[in-house]
Amino acid sequence: VEMVEIKEHPWFVACQFHPEFTSTPRDGHPLFESFIKAAKQAHNLILS
């Protein structure tokens, strides 16, 4: 597993594995959940 994170960026993660293989519609991988949460926050900032 290789991953890169830029802590100064609001949400930047790169991975060289397949988190979708361990995800299900009911239990998403934490990378996907984190990405969706960050996207919602960015969307709300733009709308406010």
pLDDT tens for each residue of 28-45: 888 888 889 999 999 999
Is 90 exceeded by the pLDDT of residue 46? yes
Q: Is 23 left (phi over 0), alpha (psi -120 to 50) or beta?
A: beta
- Write down the pLDDT at residue 17: 87
Binned at pLDDT 50, 70 and 90, residue 19 comes out as confident
Binned at pLDDT 50, 70 and 90, residue 13 comes out as confident
CA distance 29 to 14: 14
